[in-house]
Amino acid sequence: MGFEEVEKVGALLGDSGRGWYVCGGWAIDLFLGRVTREHEDLEIGVFRDHQRALREHYGDWGQFKSVSGWHAWGDDEFLELPIHQILFRARGSGPPPDPWEPVDEERQFFLDDRDGDVWISRRDARLRRPVRELTTTSVHGVPVVVPEVQLLYKAKHHLDRDEHDFREALPLLTDEQKAWLKAALELVHPGDPWLTALV
């Protein structure tokens, strides 16, 4: 998948009636303006209060929530924390297999929380910022979560791909972005190895 495929998915979401933004590893590459590694899936962020509109947008697709694996999302169920990951699969696809391997035909979303115009991190509710500062638009015209927020989420696991994304993004982060990420890591992941690079 390249940027053209990301843009294609974005075009399909354009009439969903709600704001959306690319997150995960693709958000970092869109921030960088180049594809730096392979990506196994495309993750899209939306706000939790938009979940019903999103369900309507996907109509008769199979709808699933992540709770220690993928499970059917009940028709009248409004998802609250700690549930934050949802998946839509084309009609007739059935439930996701176990173990799950993402495929291009699926649409994976992460639910973000907010209080009015203030975004609230699911990592720690003390970590907040104005909603208008959560996303930006890439040079390709695609809305993306800002890199400092995405890197905070990546700091939980420090997988090889997370380390790659941090190394690639670090030289392009502004002093303000570095300062925000440093303060966030000190709050959520004290002693994180990335802190020494955020000077």
What number of CA atoms fall less than 13 Å from residue 164's CA on the CB side?
A: 13
Q: How much of the chain, in percent, has pLDDT values that exceed 70?
A: 96
Instruction: Report all structural domains of the chain as residue ranges with CATH numbers, in order of start.
Output: 3-147 (3.30.460)
pLDDT of res. 49: 94
End-to-end C-alpha distance for the chain, whole angstroms: 34
pLDDT of res. 21: 93
Sign of the four-CA dihedral 110, 115, 121, 122: negative
For residue 5, pLDDT beyond 90: no
Amino acid symbol at 11: A
Token output for 142: 């695609």
pLDDT of res. 105: 83
For 158-196, the pLDDT digits (tens) are 999 999 999 999 999 999 999 999 999 999 999 999 999
More confident residue, 88 or 104: 88
Query: Checking DSSP bridges between strand 43-47 and strand 107-115, what pairing results, if any?
Result: parallel
What phi-psi label fits residue 20: left (phi over 0), alpha (psi between -120 and 50 degrees) or beta? beta
More confident residue, 12 or 157: 157
pLDDT of res. 40: 87
For residue 139, pLDDT beyond 90: no
* Cα–Cα distance for residue pair 32/8, rounded to 1 Å: 19
Band (pLDDT 50/70/90 cuts) for residue 2 is confident
For 57-82, the pLDDT digits (tens) are 898 899 999 999 999 999 989 999 99
pLDDT of res. 93: 86
For 9-60, the pLDDT digits (tens) are 777 676 554 689 999 999 999 999 999 999 988 999 999 999 999 999 898 8
Average pLDDT, the chain: 92
What number of CA atoms fall less than 13 Å from residue 161's CA on the CB side?
A: 16
